[in-house]
A and B are shown apart, each in its own frame.
Chain A
Amino acid sequence: MSTIELPSTPTWTGAEHDWAVETHGLTKSFGGNVAVDGVDLLVPRGCAFGYLGPNGAGKTTLIRVLLGLTGADSGTMALLGYPVPRHRDRALARVGAIVDEPRFHGHLTGRQNLRILAAAREPAARDRIGPALERVGMLHRADDRVAKYSMGMRQRLGVAACLLGDPQLLILDEPMNGLDPAGMQDMRDMILGLVAEGRTVVLSSHLLDEVERTCDAVAIVDRGRVIRQGTIAQLLAGSAFTVEIECSDPERAAACLSTTADGATCTVGPSGLEVVLPTGTGRDVVAEINRVLVEGGISVYRLQHVQASLESWFLEVTSRLDEAT
């Protein structure tokens, strides 16, 4: 059990019913294993929202609970303002989702599989089959049997299935799995396009880089609990300040900075000196470091503030959790 105190409430504000997804104290256990542990999650409408966590963190289980694929042990939840499971049918009428690897009847064509799914939705869904296939770039293979599809093609077909209901909310679980670089770029563009149309996309992934490129806001989940949520800029604002220095004498520069810069951690590597300063350090410190080194007789060739990535921030947060436990 973690003892570290982390702010978990979202940092943005919104009016009532502006949440595409809203959960409070959601818990789901499998035997003694708590897969979802009191999750409070607020996903604003009309954005791309990343649900980030390492393998086994409980991402897919939370999605399954939200979609009614399995029941929750406790807690409340609402999709698009509809409490579920009480109004599950009304909520899911406007939701499209891929959970885990999308699988279909292999002996049927992609179009026939979509016909089965469209029949379970409203009558207008059947008319959306063609446009959905076109949108995911599968129209030319729509009449081939799914057994002949690659993993990436099945992934695209899964997204097409999501679009049949003209959804306001899309929940995509690891949608980049099996896609080649071009396919990932297409998927990224499509997600951004869906958001531009006013839809909400929840992207569950362990690929931090993809989430950083695609999403406006994220929630970080670890061991079934949401440990942080907010916009990416807000989350990164709380990360450490790193400066890379290329100079004539890195060893002496490190010794010099360790005595003068309070709280700095200096590491000498093959590419030079890396100085990590505490969270909240301002940009002026870069100039101060330069002054200290020059006054110490060290020639400075390059001095660069390194923007923290979501990945490094994520590793930083989860390592702190590990230390705390």
Chain B
Amino acid sequence: MTTISLTEPSAPDLPPDDGRAPDHRGSWLPTGGMIATRFLELRRRRGLMIALLAVNIGIPVVLLTIRLVSHAVAPRSYGPAGGYDVFTTLVAGIMYVFGFIVAATVGCTAGSVDLTEGMFRHLVITGRSRLALYLARIPAGLAIVLPIVVLGFTIVCTVCVLAAPAQLDYDGLSVPAGLSRAGLEQWAGGHADEVVCNFNYRGDIALNVPCGNGPGGAIGKVGPPGTTQAAATPAQIRAFAVRMADQDYADYHSHFLSPPLPLMVDTGLWICLEATIGFVVGLGLASLMGQRTVPVVLLVILELILTPIFSQHVVAHLVNVQRGIVGLAMAHIEPAGLPLPFAGGGGPNDLLLPESRTVAVIVIVGWLVVWTALGAWRMVTRDA
């Protein structure tokens, strides 16, 4: 047994200050220098940056370049590189889904490398608040992810606007793009036979119009079965074409060649939010687990497997759990006019599990807050 007889340290009696300015290192707020150096640490990861650039900029640029070259070489076989359809396909099909995964990978890296590479211990020894060390990673990581997402998105928008086709292939007809309602009606009046024979129309057509595809003389559009009508006059055909154009204008409007500016702005904010969620969740999960690989795999599974399944298939006992999936919530706040990557999108074929917009917003905020709190808690309590 050791024989010890020492007095307890007089804890409240602090030694005099040594004259240094207080640096508030116990504060939970990170300093600008901490954020800047975290940014430096992430930016210098070559492989990570290549993946981030490849997905958000490289893939869209390659696809758009191929379309531009193909269209320039064989314009009859290959459509224009830009336009509404290309925009929605690239954004909803690639940038949204893979942008999330790459942002999550950056988050998982930011949340785990200090630990796995042995720097966490050095940082804790500085006496700096562990919470501040954690929070410094959020602005630093987003300062890397978001500009690249925005740059990639801007390139897509630019090409889709500048390389948009001058004519819109609408219901099999080559229609000028960007017409107003009056403009479309006027154009329809000038192409009455083609419009009447090709445009969709909801309701009975009380005309007998020779469209060139009927038996023997070419009746294409007829009235109700069993009725016999005289051939329509040009004036009647023109008037009916104008009426059809008026009815189809909303559908035509949604197929404008260039994506409208409000849609581009909304979509840009939407994919930035998706990337932010990917980063923050990845950061929290990796900090919680203390490693990078497993969290990345889990988030890939969430994005590519669980979210599509649970977005479209209702499991009776899990409906509220399904509604808690962040991908589903993001689908519910998707800008109108985009096709959802996992179905839905507000159209007639919408298969999305119902959820109010308010609940969707709560779910998104909840994911951001809860994963940040979990990651920070683990950072504060972890043995270094």
Contacts and interface: CB of A to CB of B under 8 A. Distances in A.
Given A88-B127, A93-B25, A112-B40, A122 B20 contact: yes
A7 B2 CA distance: 6
A100 B13 CA distance: 32
Contacts of A80: 15
A24 to B, nearest CB: 6
B28 to A, nearest CB: 11
Interface string B74-113: 0000000000000000000000000000000000000001
B2 A17 contact: no
A9 B4 CA distance: 6
Interface stretch (B116-124, B233-241, B320-328, B348-356): B116-124
Given A82-B15, A161-B122, A119 B31 contact: yes
Contacts of B3: 5-9
A277 interface: no
Contacts of A108: 40-41, 44
A97 B125 contact: yes
Contacts of A117: 122-123, 126
B327 to A, nearest CB: 32
Interface string B243-264: 0000000000000000000000
A71 to B, nearest CB: 8
Contacts of B41: 105, 108, 112, 116
Interface stretch (A61-69, A239-247, A286-294, A308-316): A61-69
B122 A69 contact: no
B44 A93 contact: no
Nearest to A88: B127
Contacts of B128: 89, 120-121
Given A5-B3, A93-B23, A119-B31, A107 B119 contact: no
Contacts of B317: none
B384 interface: yes
B25 A122 contact: yes
A104 B41 CA distance: 11
Nearest to B129: A89
Which of the listed residues B1, B31, B127 has the most CB atoms from chain A within 10 Å of its own CB? B127
A69 B384 contact: yes
A115 interface: yes
A94 interface: yes
Contact of A3 (B1, B9, B124, B129): B1
A1 B344 CA distance: 70
Given A89-B128, A121-B128, A106 B40 contact: no
Nearest to A71: B383
Contacts of A94: 18
Contacts of B25: 89, 93, 120-122
Contact of A226 (B2, B15, B45, B118): B2
Interface of B: 1-6, 8-11, 13-15, 18, 20-21, 23, 25-26, 31, 33-34, 36-38, 40-41, 44-46, 113, 117-119, 121-129, 133, 383-384
11 contacts: A8-B4, A17-B13, A69-B125, A82-B15, A93-B127, A104-B117, A105-B113, A120-B128, A123-B33, A161-B122, A226-B2
Interface of A: 2-3, 5-9, 16-17, 22, 24, 38, 40, 42, 64, 67-71, 76-78, 80-83, 86-97, 99-108, 112-113, 115-123, 126, 161, 165, 168, 225-227
| Closest 7 pairs (CB-CB, A-B) | A103-B118, A92-B127, A81-B15, A119-B33, A89-B26, A8-B2, A69-B384
